[in-house]
């Protein structure tokens, strides 16, 4: 139900009473001619409501005691802009009056019988209700000598309604802002009000979507209801019978529900129970608010829900319910098995056990009607714990501010529970659609855009810390960071952690509002244990050792391809004192060693000890220049220079593998060119001519270079470590301190 109806249930009663009384009071006079009576009633109703009343079935006077006026085919037009032409249609109205009261100058309706009424109570987009009537200017009534000289009296002047009965009625509530409608079928309803100033007693039996509800309440007098404001309520009782509500929510059955309000000063209590599928639930709430009797002051709430073994409770107060400020409440939840709540979530939930949550609810900026704050929140599960505070903006642009701290989080265990979530049953097989016509050969599919637009869905400012984290088999400690998302811009960092082998620092940024979003990433890790990192890629035994990473990269683009093609900055990676699986080395360097006629340098099995593997590159607009990369082992030293075109995905590398022989090293230059998915490796003629290898080898390689068409040049290119000096130290220093 919309907020307007749920906050003001008395409006329904007021609306029905106003319609009933307006129709009843104008039919008190009885004339000889039925048409004259009908015309007077219609004209008087128009003056009293500003609407048009038509009586299509005529008016007659039944010969009975007390005298009874009968009218049929009644329609009362709706407000301007309403969702349907008529606010009220009614098959028949029977009105009995007291002749003795008429002799005293009073109109007393002893019984008002409404048969098959159909009433629409709705608001427009501005929240104005169609039950608010505006008196029209007095107009001449057909059959009268002319227009009256004074406005008609208020419908309640001298009026008493002793009994009202409604049979087989229908009421529709409609919210003009959302278009939401709620229909009610009225099997029976009765209202009594001995005098205009006496309380009105209402009793009714209604049906809503298969739910039968009995209502009884004493409320304000007719005079008070017409003045507006909050009515006095007492002896309110709303009882719902057992019902199958599967048409509203599949699988929902209600065992019963009850709402009671002894008087406006007493708390209202709500109880209900039922099942959703095989999962039982029950709820209890006690709400005390001065708003119920039109006064300001603090409201209190004490509510709890039990469902499938889980308990959720809220207890506290609201200092100013009308202004939606002053929220002060404790929220707790205990969930033995999250999977048991799957029927209530409408989808399978992971089997996470032993969830315990507690928080203090308070106002966010602007009051809880605008933002809600969870203070001193704590969440405990077997997979970890979390404490902190969260403030969420619920009106306007979504925003979250949070400070969260955890002592331990086991992400692996949590993911295992998520993977154990039962999958929903597959629906009936659907035949695949016929294959689409292949696009023209010249039409290449556009690369998919990355979801940068998600950065502009709302704002966030989150600070976090985790003392101990287990993820992908890697133990991380002292994780902390700060992430800000504001107006489409993301700024993350510095994010710091201690991982196996050493510290890690990361920062990143992106601007999702730009057509070609700029992205930046910087990583500094002086010493990481490479084994658990390789385990993330399914290669736990590929290598051991210490890995150093230093990157500072920038790119611009809306797609992955555009970002790669615009990559600018530097990246350096150094792996020292490592053992590498020979199979990994052969997959990476087998083609190069074969081209250098050194195929047996790395055995097909076993492991090779590397002193270092250092790669340092500078990139500009997608062109990365290596400068140089060094691999150093007991038997092999290799320097690598050249370029990598990241946009075109091509290589242009010069490799200088040098075989260590115990004496002067033998360098056999190799060139690697072509697409990086299928590169071509071969001897480098220019490199051979410039190699200047040691005596005895020099002439042999010179002859080979001549056969390959290269010029013999008797000078050497100075590369790291080729004179027997240390290669790893200078390479790592260059990576850490680029020129």
pLDDT per residue as tens digits for the range 398-412: 999 999 999 999 999
Out of 177-181, 298-302, 681-685, which region has the weakest mean confidence (pLDDT)?
681-685
Residue 608 lies in a domain: yes
pLDDT, residue 75, reads: 93
Q: Give the Cα separation of 82 and 217 in Å (integer).
A: 30
Tell me: the pLDDT tens digits for 486-512? 999 999 989 999 988 788 999 999 999
Tell me: the pLDDT tens digits for 253-269? 999 999 998 877 788 89
Nearest C-alpha neighbor of 671 from the set 688, 689, 654, 691: 654
In this structure, what token pair is assigned to residue 392?
């969420």
Whether the Cβ atoms of residue 298 and residue 322 lie closer than 8 Å to each other: no
Residue 189 lies in a domain: no
Identify the three-state secondary structure at position 16. Answer: helix
Residue 86 lies in a domain: no
pLDDT, residue 638, reads: 87
pLDDT, residue 595, reads: 66
Q: Give the Cα separation of 561 and 657 in Å (integer).
A: 33
Q: Say yes or no to pLDDT of 13 above 60.
A: no
Residue with the bigger pLDDT between 353 and 581: it is 353
* Residue whose pair of structure tokens reads 């097909």 in the numeric block: 604
- Other CB atoms closer than 10 Å to residue 233's CB: what's the count? 21
Helix (H) or strand (E) segment spanning residue 235: strand 234-240
Residue 129 lies in a domain: no
pLDDT band at residue 4 under the 50/70/90 scheme: very low
Q: Give the Cα separation of 722 and 659 in Å (integer).
A: 10
Q: Give the Cα separation of 406 and 388 in Å (integer).
A: 9
Find the domain containing 682 and state its range.
567-736
Total domain count for the chain?
Answer: 1
pLDDT, residue 2, reads: 45
- The dihedral over CA atoms of 422, 428, 429, 435, expressed in degrees to the nearest 10, equals -110
- Other CB atoms closer than 10 Å to residue 250's CB: what's the count? 11
In Å, the largest CA–CA distance within the chain is: 142
Residue 693 lies in a domain: yes
In this structure, what token pair is assigned to residue 206?
């209604």
In this structure, what token pair is assigned to residue 592?
């190069």
* Residue whose pair of structure tokens reads 């529970």 in the numeric block: 417
Residue 178 lies in a domain: no
What is the residue-averaged pLDDT of the chain?
81
Tell me: the pLDDT tens digits for 569-616? 999 999 888 888 878 777 777 776 776 666 667 777 888 888 988 999
Q: Give the Cα separation of 481 and 493 in Å (integer).
A: 6
Out of 285-294, 446-455, 609-618, which region has the weakest mean confidence (pLDDT)?
285-294
Whether the Cβ atoms of residue 76 and residue 45 lie closer than 8 Å to each other: yes
**pLDDT (mean) for 142-156:** 45
pLDDT, residue 283, reads: 95
Residue 654 lies in a domain: yes
Q: Say yes or no to pLDDT of 7 above 60.
A: no
Residue 481 lies in a domain: no
pLDDT, residue 705, reads: 36
In this structure, what token pair is assigned to residue 360?
């203090």
pLDDT band at residue 689 under the 50/70/90 scheme: low
Residue with the bigger pLDDT between 19 and 484: it is 484
pLDDT, residue 160, reads: 66
């Amino acid at each position: 139900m919309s907020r307007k109806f749920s906050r003001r249930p008395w409006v329904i009663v007021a609306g029905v009473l106003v319609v009933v009384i307006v129709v009843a009071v104008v039919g008190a006079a009885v004339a000889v001619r039925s048409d004259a009576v009908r015309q007077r009633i219609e004209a008087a109703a128009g003056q009293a409501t500003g609407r048009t009343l038509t009586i299509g079935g005529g008016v007659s006077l039944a010969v009975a005691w007390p005298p009874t006026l009968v009218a049929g085919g009644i329609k009362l037009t709706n407000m301007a802009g309403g969702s349907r032409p008529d606010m009220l249609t009614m098959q028949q109205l029977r009105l009995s009056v007291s002749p003795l009261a008429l002799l005293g100058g009073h109109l007393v309706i002893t019984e008002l019988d409404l048969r098959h009424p159909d009433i629409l109570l709705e608001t427009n987009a501005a929240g104005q209700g169609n039950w608010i009537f505006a008196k029209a200017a007095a107009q001449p009534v057909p059959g009268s000598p002319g227009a009256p000289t004074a406005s008609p009296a208020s419908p309640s002047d001298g009026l008493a309604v002793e009994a009202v009965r409604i049979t087989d009625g229908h009421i529709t509530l409609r919210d003009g802002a959302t278009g939401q409608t709620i229909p009610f079928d009225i099997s029976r309803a009765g209202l009594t009000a001995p005098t205009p100033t006496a309380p009105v007693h209402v009793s009714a039996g209604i049906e809503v979507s298969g739910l039968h509800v009995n209502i009884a309440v004493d409320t304000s007098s007719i005079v008070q209801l017409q003045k507006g404001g909050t009515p006095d309520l007492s002896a309110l009782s709303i009882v719902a019978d057992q019902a199958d509500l599967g048409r509203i929510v599949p699988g929902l059955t209600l065992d019963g529900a009850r709402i009671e309000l002894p008087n406006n000063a007493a708390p209202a209590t709500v109880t209900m129970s039922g099942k959703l599928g095989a999962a039982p639930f029950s709820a209890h709430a006690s709400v005390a608010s001065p708003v119920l009797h039109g006064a300001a002051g603090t409201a209190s709430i004490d509510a709890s829900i039990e469902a499938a073994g889980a308990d959720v409770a809220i207890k506290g107060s609201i200092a100013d319910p009308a202004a939606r400020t002053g929220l002060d409440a404790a929220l707790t939840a205990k969930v033995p098995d999250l999977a048991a709540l799957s029927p209530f979530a409408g989808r399978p939930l992971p089997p996470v056990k032993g969830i315990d949550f507690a928080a203090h609810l308070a106002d966010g900026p602007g009051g809880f009607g605008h933002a809600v704050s969870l203070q001193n929140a704590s969440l405990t599960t077997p997979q970890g714990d979390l404490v902190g505070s969260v403030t969420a903006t619920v009106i306007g642009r979504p925003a979250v501010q949070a400070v969260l701290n955890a002592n331990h989080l086991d992400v692996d265990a949590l993911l295992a529970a998520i993977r154990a979530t039962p999958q929903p049953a597959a629906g009936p097989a659907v035949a695949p659609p016929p294959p689409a016509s292949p696009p023209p050969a010249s039409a290449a599919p556009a690369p998919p855009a990355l979801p940068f637009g998600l950065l502009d869905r709302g704002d966030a400012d989150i600070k976090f810390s985790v003392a101990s984290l287990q993820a992908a088999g890697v133990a991380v400690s002292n994780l902390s960071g700060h992430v800000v998302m504001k107006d489409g811009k993301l700024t993350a960092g510095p994010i710091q952690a201690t991982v196996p082998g050493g510290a890690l620092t990361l920062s990143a940024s992106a601007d999702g509002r730009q057509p070609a979003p700029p992205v930046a990433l910087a990583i500094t890790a002086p010493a990481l244990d490479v084994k658990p990192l390789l385990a993330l890629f399914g290669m736990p035994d590929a290598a051991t050792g210490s890995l150093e990473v230093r990157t500072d990269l920038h790119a611009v683009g809306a797609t992955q391809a555009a970002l790669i093609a615009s990559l600018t900055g530097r990246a350096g990676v150094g792996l020292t004192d490592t053992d590498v699986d020979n199979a990994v080395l052969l997959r990476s360097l087998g083609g190069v060693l074969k081209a250098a006629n050194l195929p047996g340098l790395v055995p097909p099995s076993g492991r090779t000890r590397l002193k270092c593997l250092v790669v340092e590159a500078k990139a500009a607009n997608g062109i990365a220049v290596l400068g140089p990369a060094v691999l150093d082992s007991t038997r092999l030293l290799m320097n690598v220079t050249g370029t990598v075109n990241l946009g075109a995905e091509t290589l242009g590398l010069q490799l200088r593998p040098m075989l260590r022989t115990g004496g002067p090293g033998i360098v056999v230059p190799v060139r690697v060119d072509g697409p990086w998915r299928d590169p071509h490796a071969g001897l480098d003629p220019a490199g051979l001519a410039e190699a200047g290898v040691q005596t005895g080898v020099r002439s042999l390689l010179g002859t080979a270079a001549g056969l390959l068409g290269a010029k013999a040049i008797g000078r050497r290119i100075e590369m790291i470590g080729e004179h027997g000096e240390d290669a790893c130290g200078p390479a790592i220093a260059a990576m850490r301190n680029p020129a």
